[in-house]
Amino acid sequence: GQSLEQPSEVTAVEGAIVQINCTYQTSGFYGLSWYQQHDGGAPTFLSYNALDGLEETGRFSSFLSRSDSYGYLLLQELQMKDSASYFCAVLAGRGYQKVTFGIGTKLQVIP
Q: Work out the burial of residue 86: count CB atoms within 10 Å of its CB; fewer than 13 is exposed, 13-18 middle, 19 or more buried.
A: buried
Q: Say if CB 64 and CB 52 are below 8 A apart.
A: yes
Q: Which is nearer to other proteins, 25 or 97 (CB)?
A: 97
- 71 forms part of the interface with other proteins (CB under 8 A): no
When binding is defined by CB under 8 A, the residue of 16, 59, 98, 110 that contacts other proteins is 98
- 60 forms part of the interface with other proteins (CB under 8 A): no
Q: Say if CB 4 and CB 22 are below 8 A apart.
A: yes
H/E run at residue 34: strand 29-37
When binding is defined by CB under 8 A, the residue of 22, 71, 72, 102 that contacts other proteins is 102
Backbone angles phi, psi at 82, to 5 degrees: -80, -10
Q: Which is nearer to other proteins, 5 or 14 (CB)?
A: 5
Task: For the segment 12-51, give every residue that binds other proteins (CB under 8 A).
Answer: 30-31, 33, 41-45, 48, 50
- 101 forms part of the interface with other proteins (CB under 8 A): yes
Cα end-to-end span (Å), the chain: 40
Residues engaged in binding other proteins (CB under 8 A)? 30-31, 33, 41-45, 48, 50, 87, 91, 96-104
